[in-house]
Structure 1
Amino acid sequence: MQLEIISPKKMIFTGSVVSVTLPGALGSFQILEHHAPIISSLVKGKLSFVTDEDEQIELLIEDGFVEMNNNKVTVCLESIIKEL
């Protein structure tokens, strides 16, 4: 599936991934390929994803929201605190 992570200032990541784990308001949740469409708010916490090359990337984020539709995940963030 395709993942785009964007902020008001720049494109943070775009590429093909296997999974995305996000810090939701009700707890952490994971999105896998062919997940049902969803829109959710995000809170401060760890966002991680696994690329098709089996590389795991982790970011500590402030807040934002995520949309999953047609096997494309779009994450809009206010800011990234740091890469872990």
Structure 2
Amino acid sequence: MILKVISAQDILFQGEVDSVTLPGTEGEFTVLRNHASLISTLEPGTVTYHHDGRSGEVQVNGGIVDVDNNVVSVCIY
């Protein structure tokens, strides 16, 4: 699945991931390959992603996430 983390100024991350954990307004949640489509708001926190045994993270101050057809698009404030 593809993760895209973008702000108004820059693309912070774009690449293949196995999972991504997001700080949703209603609580933290994890997205895996073939997840159902969804749109959610994000609270300040950490977006954590994993791929081939490696992980990374991006700090966010809030935003929105759109999950559709194995593409996770995170637009941050």
Q: Distance between the aligned counterparts of 1:75 and 1:55, measured in 2?
A: 20
Residue equivalent to 1:3: 3
Counterpart for residue 70 of structure 1: 69
Shift of 1:38: 0.3
Identity of aligned residues (%): 39
| Structure 1 stretches of 4+ moved >2 Å | none
For 2:40 and 2:62, locate their aligned partners in 1 and report how far apart those are by CA, in whole Å: 11
Aligned-partner Cα distance in 2 for 1:31–1:23: 11
SS of residue in 2 equivalent to 1:36: coil
Partner SS state of residue 13, structure 1: strand
**Alignment partners' CA distance in 2, 1:77 and 1:54:** 26
Matches within 5 A, 1:21-36: 21-36=21-36
How far 1:60 moved relative to its partner? 2.0
2:46 and 2:5 mapped to 1: Cα distance?
Answer: 14
